[in-house]
Amino acid sequence: MRLTYKFSKEDLSKIPADIVVIQCKKVLGDGKKPGQLLKSDGGMLLDKALGGLLTRVLADEMFDGSQCTSKIIDIHSKIAAKKILIVGIGEEKDLSLDSLRLIGSKITKIANGLRAKSIAGVLQPEKIKNLSPSDRMQALVEGMQLGGYRFDLYKNKKDLEKPTLQTIKVIFGGNPAAAEKATKLGTLFAEAISYARDLVNMPGHDLTPEVLAIEAKKIAKAGHLFCKVLNEKEIEKDGMGLLTAISKGAANPPRFIHLGYKPKKKAKIKIAIVGKGITFDSGGYNLKSTIHMENMKQDMAGAAALLSIMKLLPTIRPSVQIDGYIPATENMIDGKAHKPGDVIRSRSGKTVEILNLDAEGRLILADAIDHAKENSPDIMIDMATLTGGVRYALGEIYTAILGNDQGLIDKIISASKSAGEPMWQLPLEKEYLKGFKESIADLNNNGKSYASTICGALFINEFVGKTKWAHLDIAESAWAREERGYRTKGGTGAMIQTIINFLASY
Ligand code: BES
Ligand code: ZN
Ligand code: ZN
């Protein structure tokens, strides 16, 4: 549900909201002091109006204001609101856009948990740390909206307990125009991320390559983007032998999707983005373990992020040309499916011995990248749930980034910082390429090294050529096995904000 924001200059104590939200910061020292209410957000004033009740509660219960902790206090007189929610914001030095997203999601969850319809709070007009009120507002809105994300498409609607929170009253002393714009932007981002989450969470039988293509067409129509979809025959005719090979075992036919955005003025540069679109990865004849194979519906998270990015472009309007490509297929088993050891000619002409049918992502990306190169992009980026090994390299929250151009990698990592999407670079170690060359074909698709995330990137690199390129392995970051703050369980919508920040930086 979309939350609505109303800006006003009223007195916080006079607002008849279900909950008034105030902040509490952590004080430096021995850690044994209660947290401190703020003057600037009306907390101290409310405390005064309530005869010091809030400070007493903080001291009695040793609430120290650590980030994302909270305290609810029921109020029955003296102020118009029914309840006060005190949110710990930690020490000022730890405040960041992402901590505000986390705080925002916490507020939504508490409000819905208490069945509150309206909340109110102060947006301080001054800069806090280096963060302007608009930046803080946008991050809070993103967190509040995403914290309320649910995937209930398959739930029986009559049994659903609907979220209650609808309105947020923002008391703001400054000129509200910029802050109001920030709430619109925050809502836009949150809804784009929710859209990608929906696609990732949707089961493979409903989210087929054809459905991805239909979504792409809808996005193109609404945003006046270029859109071309190739069907299975056209994919084969285009020479995408590797994509064709992987699609052989599937009953649902493959699609190759191309979406294009151009700025009004002449584009500064051309950027191609490729998103892995395996709508279900069974592993093919290198069949995956059946334990949690259901999660392999997420193997199109790169495609989902790309669709969401393309959907945002007509509003964000960056000054670069962006072509998005999605090779979309299922990876299944069947009498027609390829067998381990089969040799396939890629679109580039290189032959590939498919030693492992479960290393299918790099195959379809190789053909897509070769296709994308025909438009002579200045930069190529691919986003892919490519290797389970990224979990062992970097754990649950990081996206691995590899590539052939340090400047590009640094620029993307820098864009990821304010997006709150941790990234870490792994080396494109050429030594490990040798394992791919031990083959009856030009290369095999498996390699030999334990460094599977690096190997995946090395294989793709063989098809990239001289174009500047960055590979984002989102196999862990695109999916939360359990809830992490505003990242609800399931698809996370990783890399949408990072890439939008990156594109907007030109
Ligand atoms: N889609 C998987 C990678 C994956 C694993 C994504 C877990 C999300 C969660 C990919 O196609 C794959 O199976 N990769 C193999 C490569 C190996 C066979 C070289 C892997 O990582 O095990
Ligand atoms: Zn696989
Ligand atoms: Zn896969």
pLDDT by residue (tens digit) across 314-350? 999 999 999 999 999 999 999 999 999 999 999 999 9
The CA-CA-CA angle for residues 158, 164, 169, to 5°, reads 155
pLDDT digits (tens, 9 = 90+) for 181-194: 999 999 999 999 99
Each residue of 455-465: pLDDT tens digit?
Answer: 999 999 999 99
Q: Would you say residue 375 has pLDDT above 90? A: yes
Q: How far is CA 18 from CA 23, 35, 82, 122, 124, in A?
A: 17, 24, 5, 15, 21
The values of phi and psi at residue 90, to 5°, are 70, -160
Rounded-to-integer distance, Cα 365 and Cα 276, Å: 7
Ligand showing the shortest atom-to-Cα distance for residue 445 = 1
- Residue 368 vs residues 323, 397, 456, 501: alpha-carbon distances, Å: 12, 27, 15, 24
384 CB less than 6 Å from ligand 1?
no
State which ligand 1 atom lies nearest to the alpha carbon of 276: 1
Residue 445 scores a pLDDT above 90: yes
For a ligand 1 pocket test, name from 243, 299, 460 the mutation site with the most ligand atoms within 8 angstroms of its C-beta: 299
Residues 453, 398: Cα–Cα separation, whole Å: 12
Contact partners, residue 64, CB within 8 Å, separation at least 6? 26, 27, 31, 33, 34, 35, 88
Over range 489-505, report the average pLDDT. 97
Residue 43 phi/psi, 5-degree rounding, is -60, -45
**CB count in 10 Å sphere of residue 76:** 7
- Whether residue 357 contacts residue 331, with contact meaning beta carbons closer than 8 Å, is answered with yes
CA-to-CA dists, residue 65 to 130, 137, 408, 412, angstroms: 21, 20, 39, 34
| Residue range 148-167: mean pLDDT, rounded | 91
pLDDT tens digits, one per residue of 80-98: 999 999 999 999 899 999 9
Atom of ligand 1 nearest to the CA of 447: 19
- Measured from the Cα of 361, ligand 1's closest atom is 11
Mean pLDDT, the chain, as a whole number? Answer: 96
Tokens 């947020």 locate to: 168
Per-residue pLDDT reduced to its tens digit, 239-270: 999 999 999 999 999 999 999 999 999 998 99
Residue of 288, 295, 333, 358 to test ligand 1 pocket, by largest number of atoms within 8 Å of CB: 358
Residue 299 beta carbon below 6 angstroms from any ligand 1 atom: yes
pLDDT value at residue 31? 65
Pick the residue whose CA is nearest to atom 17 on ligand 1: 359
Q: Rounded to 10 degrees, what is the CA torsion of 237, 241, 243, 244?
A: 70
CA dihedral angle for residue 347, residue 349, residue 355, residue 361, rounded to 10 degrees: -30
Ligand 1, atom 18, lies closest to the CA of 359
**CA 457 to each of CA 22, 329, 349, 483: distance values in angstroms, whole numbers, following the listed order:** 47, 20, 19, 29
Give the pLDDT of residue 8.
Answer: 95
The per-residue pLDDT for range 175-221, each reduced to its tens digit, is 899 999 999 999 999 999 999 999 999 999 999 999 999 999 999 99
Give me ligand 1 centre to Cα 74, in Å. Answer: 50
331 in contact with ligand 1, CB cutoff 6 A = no
Q: Can you state the angle between helices 496-504 and 176-201, rounded to 10 degrees?
A: 130
The pLDDT value given to residue 501: 97
Tokens 């005719």 sit at which residue?
237
Predicted confidence at residue 1, as pLDDT, reads 85
Note if 115 is an active site residue.
no
Q: Is the pLDDT of residue 292 over 90?
A: no
Ligand 1 pocket, 279 CB below 6 A? no
Residues with Cβ within 8 Å of 349's Cβ and at least 6 positions away in sequence, in order, are none
What band does 30 get if pLDDT is binned at 50, 70 and 90? low
Q: Does residue 452's CB lie within 6 angstroms of at least one atom of ligand 1?
A: yes
Q: Which atom of ligand 1 lies nearest, measured to the CA of 299?
A: 1
Structure tokens, 107: 């507020």
150 in active site: no
The answer to whether 270 touches 375, Cβ cutoff 8 Å, is yes
Q: What is the pTM of this model?
A: 0.97
Three-state SS sequence of 395-432 = CCCCEEEEECCHHHHHHHHHHHHHHCCCEEECCCCHHH
Burial class (CB within 10 angstroms; exposed 0-12, middle 13-18, buried 19+) of 264: exposed
Ligand 3 being an ion, which residues bring their Cβ within 5 A of it? 278, 281, 299, 361
Alpha-carbon distance 259 to 223, whole Å? 11
Ligand 3 center from residue 359 Cα (angstroms): 7
The predicted pLDDT at position 285 comes to 97
Band of residue 158 on the pLDDT scale cut at 50, 70, 90: confident
